[in-house]
Amino acid sequence: MANIKSAKKRILIIEKKRAQNRSVKSKISTYTKKFQAAVASGDVSVAEKAYSEVTSVLDSAVSDGVIHANCAARRKSKFAKQLDKIRTN
């Protein structure tokens, strides 16, 4: 346990940020699962809506600094490929 006042303050700040980051990561996971389910069902319109939602969540996570920009770009690219695959079928 920290003894210095500034270290105690940092512990509190880190806990708040950790909770916020966990919340954002959970949201990313939820919307990713929704998109994957839409792709698995093969419904293009639902998948397109889910794709726009998941990309929006990823972009907001990048702007908050929760995930790296390249990580979000990689995921969006992967999701776009999956969406194109069901569009062509």
Q: Taking a C-beta distance cutoff of 8 angstroms, is the pair 47, 38 a contact?
A: yes
Helices H / strands E in the chain, number of each: 3, 0
Which one, of 17, 50, 11, lies nearest residue 32 by Cα?
50
Predicted TM-score (pTM) of the model is 0.89
DSSP 42: T
What domains sit in the chain, N to C, each tagged with a CATH number? 5-88 (1.20.58.110)
Q: What are phi and psi of 41, to 5 degrees?
A: -75, -25
pLDDT digits (tens, 9 = 90+) for 31-82: 999 999 999 999 999 999 999 999 999 999 999 999 999 999 999 999 999 9
